[in-house]
Amino acid sequence: MSDNLLDTIRRYADANADAQGIARTCIPGLFAVRATTPTALAYDISRPLVALVVQGSKRVTTGSDTFDFGAGESMLIAADVPTISQITRADRGKPYYSFVLELDSAVIEALTREIDVVEADRGNGPVRIDPTEAEVADAALRLMRLLDRPASIPLLQSHLLRELHYWLLVGRHGAAIRGLGVAESHARRIARAVAIIRAEFARPLRVERLAEASGMSPTSFHQHFRAATSLSPLQFQKQLRLIEARRLMLSEGTSPSNVAHTVGYESVPQFTREYGRFFGAPPVRDIKNAKSRLQIAA
């Protein structure tokens, strides 16, 4: 991978990264990541995205699958899936850096109508690791360089985002992301259900309603939802609740009893049990340990 991409991401991330190592940009869905030490486990429900690692290495787990990847490799996440991630190689002399772009299904849909692309992928899970292709890296470099020319962003960002999506679509990742651009594909149908769960995760949700929104029978919906996300709809909702609860306790200092009700639990003991099983420690201890790690990293 070009050293120019590493240099450009390093310069931007060093100047703009927040306490969590995220350097956001004015281009929607685009950000860089920086870390000077290996990190603790991070839990998230990731949206479809591509991440180009340009220095250091990372480990991502979804379901029963674990992926290790490093400089010169790209991770594609082709669906909304729960992930546990950890930067595994980074230090102050040689920090971890990556370029991350959330995929735009509207751009993919427009491109699939105009070009011949490979058939949509039928399996192998929602997360893939492949060597970063030269065309993808070049488009990412020009997109990052655009940030140095703010006046040019309104004129050129849509063109460069489209180009980057194009190279992804016709490259190694094309089969995995094509379904995101087909209006009635299983991927887009499941995405409609995921959007409802994300918006209403704290409320009781009927699987029949989610299936109807996806245009599927309940049985078919269950099968396709699990294939796309590695979880059942109720497991997905539970993990989303727990991840949001942890975020609220870390960022806003919300107490476990209050946060349990905020994210939809009627029973605080049940919340505490499920939190401990998922994160490996009860809420108070987990948040105390997480804050201590953040202080050390700072």
At residue 63, the pLDDT reads 77
At residue 120, the pLDDT reads 52
Per-residue pLDDT averaged across 174-198, rounded? 83
At residue 251, the pLDDT reads 87
Tens-place pLDDT, residues 244-265 = 999 999 888 889 999 999 999 9
Is the pLDDT at 23 greater than 60? The verdict is yes
**Token representation of residue 39:** 């990190």
Q: What is the mean pLDDT of the chain?
A: 90
At residue 296, the pLDDT reads 61
What is the 3-state secondary structure of the chain?
Answer: CCHHHHHHHHHHHHHHCCCCCEEECCCCCEEEEEECCCCCCEEEEECCEEEEEEECEEEEEECCEEEEEECCEEEEECCCEEEEEEEEECCCCCCEEEEEEECCHHHHHHHHHHCCCCCCCCCCCCEEEEECCHHHHHHHHHHHHHCCCHHHHHHHHHHHHHHHHHHHHHCCCHHHHHHHHCCCCHHHHHHHHHHHHHHCCCCCCCHHHHHHHHCCCHHHHHHHHHHHHCCCHHHHHHHHHHHHHHHHHHHHCCCHHHHHHHCCCCCHHHHHHHHHHHHCCCHHHHHHHHHHHHHHHC
Interatomic CA distance for residues 62 and 80, integer angstroms: 11
Per-residue pLDDT averaged across 163-190, rounded? 84
CATH architecture of 3-181: Sandwich (2.60)
Residue with tokens 């590493």: 6
Tens-place pLDDT, residues 65-96 = 899 999 999 999 988 888 999 999 999 999 99
- What percent of the chain is predicted at pLDDT more than 70? 93
Instruction: Name which of 145-159, 183-197, 211-225, 241-255 the model is least confident about.
Output: 183-197
**Token representation of residue 59:** 């480990």
At residue 121, the pLDDT reads 55
186-199 vs 218-229: helix axis angle to the nearest 10? 90
At residue 231, the pLDDT reads 87
**CATH classification number, 235-297, choose in 1.10.10.60, 2.60.40.420, 3.40.1280.10, 1.10.3720.10:** 1.10.10.60
More confident residue, 49 or 113: 49
Is the pLDDT at 183 greater than 70? The verdict is no
Instruction: Name which of 148-152, 201-205, 225-229, 271-275 the model is least confident about.
Output: 225-229
At residue 113, the pLDDT reads 84
Decide if 44 contacts 85 (C-beta within 8 A).
yes
Instruction: Name which of 3-17, 97-111, 113-127, 266-280 the model is least confident about.
Output: 113-127
Is the pLDDT at 239 greater than 80? The verdict is yes
Tens-place pLDDT, residues 265-297 = 999 999 999 999 999 999 999 999 888 876 665
